[in-house]
């Protein structure tokens, strides 16, 4: 039955897009607004080609990419160690960089089981007390549990998660006051089904060292969504409470939008996008984006999720504003949850361009 619903949904999507699809001379498909003599093409705006989109990170981080290139090409893990050692532990950037290194290692191991990520193995063997290496290793275990352990609930899944929990606690001892190991354990708490008392104890440690950490709140939100999957009340309450106490300029004001995303129905009807719940969450996220520092590492995460809501809401100009800021990097929700993140993002981007031009927009009218 699930397959039937999937095929029906795909059929409806194809039927809806059929009037908009044209083929370029080079064979690539492009979307065309009804009645428009010219096809809408993301390339006209200087946007990246689909094959150029970076699925590893949510937004540009040249220092990270340089360090990752060194460790992957030469095996010199010291570049990663030095970058993390110089990244403040009290901000969002360190958490993102740990995730990126672990994600790169996970992809290598998936491509070359047993042989990939030799740089991380050398890092752990040669610098056992290095806090950055311990944190990347713990995060890698979590990612492996979700990606390659035989499925949620399997024995391999639980064994890897137990190992990840132990790795998190060892990492805490190497870097007191660093929230990253606690945040990684929040993902373990979700997967292993910590009791509320166990989770509250862990969350108290997070709040003690990083009370306004957006990444930590996202990880905690996932726990509440997982535990109360039949009811959204706990997750919504957590998200709205965090947004209400968020300091000025904090992206925590966008947390209710992530809660809405977590509880989005599998079969979404048009009325959903016009509902008061969705509208309020989107407006809150837009407010948070406008108030946030331009260099906030979590800003790209919020913009990516906003794009996925603004397109079906047909708020084309606002959708294009998000594309303008995030294009090139797609390592964030909702794209990262898709089998092909770049392709998923490219579809939404093309729809945003088509809708924008169908309503009078053009490359000349999009702010730079």
Residue 231 has pLDDT above 70, yes or no: no
Mean pLDDT, residues 211-228 taken together: 89
> What is the structure's pLDDT at 367?
85
> What is the structure's pLDDT at 4?
41
What pLDDT, in 10s, does the model give residues 150-189? 555 677 778 889 999 999 999 999 998 999 999 999 999 9
> What is the structure's pLDDT at 35?
37
pLDDT band (50, 70, 90) for residue 145: confident
DSSP string, 163-198: HHHHHHHHHHHHSTT-SHHHHHHHHHHHHHT--HHH
Mean of per-residue pLDDT scores for the chain: 86
All CATH 1.25.40.10 domain ranges of the chain, comma separated, are 62-211
- Under a CB-based contact definition with an 8 Å cutoff, are residues 37 and 80 in contact? no
- 22 pairs with which residues across the strands? 30
Residue 325 has pLDDT above 90, yes or no: yes
Domain 62-211: give its CATH superfamily: Tetratricopeptide repeat domain (1.25.40.10)
Q: What share of the chain is helix, strand, coil (3-state, %, to 5)?
A: 65, 0, 30
> What is the structure's pLDDT at 115?
84
> What is the structure's pLDDT at 28?
42
> What is the structure's pLDDT at 34?
42
Mean pLDDT, residues 278-301 taken together: 95
Q: Which of 356, 328, 331 is nearest to 51 (CA)?
A: 328
Cα–Cα distance measured from residue 73 to residue 160, given in angstroms and rounded to the nearest whole number: 28
- In this structure, the strands spanning 29-31 and 21-23 are antiparallel
Q: Model's pTM, two decimal places?
A: 0.84
> What is the structure's pLDDT at 267?
74
């Amino acid at each position: 039955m699930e397959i039937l619903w999937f095929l029906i949904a795909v059929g409806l999507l194809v039927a809806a897009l059929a009037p908009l699809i044209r083929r370029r001379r080079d064979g690539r498909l492009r979307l065309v607004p009804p009645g428009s003599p010219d096809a809408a093409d993301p390339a006209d705006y200087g946007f990246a080609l689909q094959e150029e989109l970076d699925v590893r990170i949510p937004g540009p981080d040249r220092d990270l990419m340089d360090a990752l290139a060194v460790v992957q090409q030469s095996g010199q893990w010291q570049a990663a160690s030095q970058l993390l050692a110089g990244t403040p532990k009290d901000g969002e950037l360190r958490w993102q960089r740990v995730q990126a290194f672990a994600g790169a290692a996970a992809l290598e191991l998936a491509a070359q089981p047993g042989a990939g990520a030799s740089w991380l193995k050398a890092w752990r063997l040669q610098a056992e007390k290095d806090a950055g290496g311990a944190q990347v290793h713990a995060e890698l275990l979590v990612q492996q549990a979700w990606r390659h352990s035989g499925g949620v609930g399997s024995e391999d899944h639980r064994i890897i998660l137990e190992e990840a929990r132990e790795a998190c606690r060892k990492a805490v001892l190497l870097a007191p006051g660093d929230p990253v190991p606690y945040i990684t354990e929040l993902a373990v708490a979700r997967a292993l089904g910590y009791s509320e008392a166990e989770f509250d104890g862990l969350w108290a440690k997070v709040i003690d060292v990083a009370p306004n950490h957006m990444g930590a709140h996202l990880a905690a939100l996932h726990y509440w969504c997982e535990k109360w999957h039949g009811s959204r009340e706990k997750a919504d309450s957590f998200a709205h409470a965090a947004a209400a106490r968020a300091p000025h300029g904090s992206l925590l004001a966008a947390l209710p939008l992530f809660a809405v995303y977590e509880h989005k129905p599998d079969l979404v009807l048009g009325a959903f996008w016009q509902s008061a719940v969705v509208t309020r969450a989107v407006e809150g996220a837009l407010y948070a984006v406008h108030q946030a520092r331009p260099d906030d590492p979590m800003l790209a995460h919020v913009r990516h999720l906003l794009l996925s809501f603004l397109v079906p809401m047909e708020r084309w100009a606002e959708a294009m504003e998000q594309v303008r800021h995030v294009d090139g990097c797609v390592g964030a929700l909702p794209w990262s949850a898709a089998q092909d993140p770049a392709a998923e993002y490219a579809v939404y981007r093309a729809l945003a361009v088509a809708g924008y031009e169908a309503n009078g927009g053009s490359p000349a009218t999009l702010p730079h």
